[in-house]
Amino acid sequence: MNIRVLAADLAAKIAAGEVIERPASVVKELLENSLDASAKQISIEIQGGGIDEIRVTDDGLGIPFDEVDLAFQHHATSKISTEDHLAAISTLGFRGEALPSIASVSRVSLITRCHTSEGGSQSIREWGISEGVRPHGSPVGTSITVSDLFGNLPARKKFLKSPATESGKIQDLIYRYALAYPEIKFQFQVAGRTKLSTSGHGDWLEAIGSVMGSETSNQMLYVYGEGSESGYKIEGFTGTPSLSKANRNNITLLVNRRWIYSRSLTFAVDEAYHGLLPEKRFPICVFNLSVPLSEVDVNSHPTKREIRFHQESKIFSLLQRSIRESLISNSPVPFVSSPGVAGFANRSLASGYGRENHYSKSSYSNGMPKNLEGSFLAKSVNGYQDTRINGSDLLETAKEILPTLQVVGQIKLTYIIAEGQNGLYLVDQHAAHERILFDQITERSASKTPQMQPLLQSCPIDLTPTQLGVIDSHQDILRSYGFEFDKFGEMTVLLRGIPSIVKPLDPVKSFIDLLDVVAFEGLMRKREDAVSASLACHSAVRAGMLLGQEEMISLLEQLHRTPNPHTCPHGRPTLIHFSNYQLEREFGRR
Ligand code: ADP
Ligand code: MG
């Protein structure tokens, strides 16, 4: 066989394939260029999942007229000039490859005006070939329109997913950048419809709120940690355990404010929540790791998404420890240290994170939290030391079958106090109800007798591509539980009915959470159990709900009848038992 040098345009197409995998990779490169150009506002508009068109417009520094052509040449970058800066290449991935790669597989129109120039310019390119640069009116900044992606590479285009899926990937990416850059105003439109708009005020929690909703941002805890000599610093927000999700999609890790994926750091986050979250639940969090440029290597992966750290174990433990410290110091719940019920004591931490313990906006400014002591402020707000219970055998989970219980009352709108033949019982109303519903749901679905209650008003729900995937492949399971829904538009379903066995407080949320559960459990054996558990969790009475005497009596009766009354489907205890003997001893009667 003859060895031949590839024709330049073929070589370019191959190179492009490494950097540009799909529309989201184009958006990522363009976004990063806007960030590098010190933009304060970035707007992203897409059509047809970004395959038809992507436009990224910024108010950054712009490109001088005579450098526009250069920007499209391979290895052309304004960001590194001498070898001294080589570390920056490997760290931030300035390789001067993005624009030429994008241009070789699409039609590009770039309009730009440099902040020092009077007028702007436009450059049009088709499949890598320049049609020249000409003067063109433009505000200071750059606007790049990329159309007909992979139009010259049908084989590659075939590998793209549906526009809806591609659009979802772009949305996910933009959300992560909006989380990373609260001081930048992001605007994201899909086919003319605004999907995200952030204020750019620089308030990190506010940015989290714009992306994930204020209910979430209100329950985020500030996390800060510094490695003593390593030069590493971690800063961010992590959700209280009550915010947990069914998959890891809500863990956002940034390194030097670029979004990355790292298996080991994700694992560090998991570890930090060990014992605080039920099995297969994952936290919501956003962290930025500041790492010296010389410590990372992003070039191990062409799209720069996965990175390598030279001292991975140090970063791992810094991240894990910092999150853990914040979680523990913000927990107002008694940490019961009893050897006999260790696992249980640990788990009891999972509930009870009070809203009052979360950081007020005043503890940080300018986007990034400034006040380092802030992360431990909450300790003094509600020190758990005061409420620590010491008697090592004071608590005991009931081991036998549950006796008949008489209701005494409700405390903290969360626990039912009850009396049984052998002492006092504290029942977690939510956990207990979850257990009852779980057993009913599994029984129903096993006997294939789901009952549906139609919603008074059907609810349209916008779904992520993953959630849509679940609907496509698991319609039968969902229907077997009594959900009724129809596809409606590309990314939307219309929820018409819900299982009648349960009374979801928020049918839409329970349906979406269920899709997330199934997405995660997809390949696992006990998927049905996970579905039942999720349904039960959503339908059960919440902590904080006032229960009438009748309701409490009925709850305890039903709990009494379940085969596993002592734990909820996630494995948390439903009740704590103080035996008569323990009470007498504690009061010095014995
Ligand atoms: P790199 O980002 O690695 O330098 P790119 O191919 O992404 O390579 O961009 C090439 C050059 O084009 C950049 O170094 C920069 O000078 C210029 N450029 C690209 N996008 C922008 C933008 N939005 N604003 C200002 N300059 C830009
Ligand atoms: Mg670039």
DSSP for 18-54? HH--SHHHHHHHHHHHHHHTT-SEEEEEEEGGGTSEE
By the 8 A CB rule, do 28 and 187 touch? no
Please determine, for residue 370, whether its predicted confidence score (pLDDT) is greater than 70.
no
Alpha-carbon distance 332 to 558, whole Å? Answer: 31
Mutate to test the pocket of ligand 1, among 55, 59, 78 (most ligand atoms within 8 A of CB): 78
185 token code pair: 């105003």
Q: DSSP letters of 316-336?
A: HHHHHHHHHHHHHHT--S---
157 C-alpha to ligand 1 centroid (Å): 25
DSSP label at residue 533: H
Which amino acid does the sequence have at 122?
Q
Instruction: For ligand 1, say whether the CB of 345 is within 6 Å of any of its atoms.
Output: no
DSSP label at residue 500: T
32 C-alpha to ligand 2 centroid (Å): 6
Instruction: For ligand 1, say whether the CB of 532 is within 6 Å of any of its atoms.
Output: no
Of the listed ligands, the closest to the CA of 74 is 1
48 C-alpha to ligand 2 centroid (Å): 24
Query: What angle is formed at CA 243 by the lines to CA 242 and CA 246, rounded to 5 degrees?
Result: 110
Please determine, for residue 120, whether its predicted confidence score (pLDDT) is greater than 60.
yes
Check if CATH label 2.40.50.140 holds for domain 204-329+363-388: no
DSSP label at residue 281: -
* Number of the ligand 1 atom closest to the C-alpha atom of 101: 6
Instruction: For ligand 1, say whether the CB of 108 is within 6 Å of any of its atoms.
Output: no
* Residues 437-479 pLDDT 10s: 888 877 777 776 767 888 888 888 988 888 888 888 778 878 8
The fold for domain 397-577 equals formyl-coa transferase, domain 3 (3.30.1540)
Alpha-carbon distance 529 to 535, whole Å? Answer: 10
* Residues 47-76 pLDDT 10s: 999 999 999 999 999 999 999 999 998 777
Q: Where would I find the beta strands (DSSP E) of 184-250?
A: 185-190, 193-197, 220-226, 233-239
76 C-alpha to ligand 2 centroid (Å): 10
pLDDT bucket at 351, cuts 50 / 70 / 90: very low
pLDDT above 70: percentage of residues in the chain:
77
Instruction: For ligand 1, say whether the CB of 88 is within 6 Å of any of its atoms.
Output: no
Average pLDDT, the chain: 79
Of the listed ligands, the closest to the CA of 96 is 1
* pTM (predicted TM-score): 0.60
Mutate to test the pocket of ligand 1, among 18, 27, 44, 77 (most ligand atoms within 8 A of CB): 77
Instruction: For ligand 1, say whether the CB of 423 is within 6 Å of any of its atoms.
Output: no
353 token code pair: 């994170």
Alpha-carbon distance 148 to 540, whole Å? Answer: 49
Alpha-carbon distance 491 to 25, whole Å? Answer: 21
- 396 phi, psi to nearest 5 deg: -155, 130
Q: What number is the average pLDDT over the span 89-118? A: 84
Mutate to test the pocket of ligand 1, among 27, 34, 36, 74 (most ligand atoms within 8 A of CB): 36
96 C-alpha to ligand 2 centroid (Å): 6
Specify the 3-state DSSP secondary structure of 66.
helix
33 C-alpha to ligand 1 centroid (Å): 5
Characterise 282 by phi-psi region: left (phi > 0), alpha (psi -120 to 50), beta (else): beta
DSSP label at residue 257: T
Specify the 3-state DSSP secondary structure of 484.
strand
Alpha-carbon distance 11 to 4, whole Å? Answer: 12
Of the listed ligands, the closest to the CA of 39 is 1
For position 382, what pLDDT does the model report? 27
What is the Cα gyration radius of the chain? 28
Instruction: For ligand 1, say whether the CB of 95 is within 6 Å of any of its atoms.
Output: yes
* Residues 302-320 pLDDT 10s: 455 677 788 888 888 899 8
* Number of the ligand 1 atom closest to the C-alpha atom of 97: 6
* Number of the ligand 1 atom closest to the C-alpha atom of 93: 3
Strands 251-255 and 285-290, by their bridges, are parallel
CA neighbours closer than 13 Å in the CB half-sphere of residue 165: 10
Alpha-carbon distance 467 to 509, whole Å? Answer: 13
The CATH label, of 3.40.47.10, 2.160.10.10, 1.20.120.1810, 3.30.565.10, for the domain at 8-197 is 3.30.565.10
Alpha-carbon distance 93 to 19, whole Å? Answer: 11
Q: Please state the separation of Cα 338 from the chain's center in Å.
A: 34
For position 309, what pLDDT does the model report? 81
| Atom 4, ligand 1: residue with shortest CA distance | 77
* Number of the ligand 1 atom closest to the C-alpha atom of 98: 6
Residue located via tokens 């096993």: 446
Residue located via tokens 């049905």: 528
Domain ranges of the chain: 8-197, 204-329+363-388, 397-577
Alpha-carbon distance 105 to 470, whole Å? Answer: 32
Please determine, for residue 131, whether its predicted confidence score (pLDDT) is greater than 90.
yes
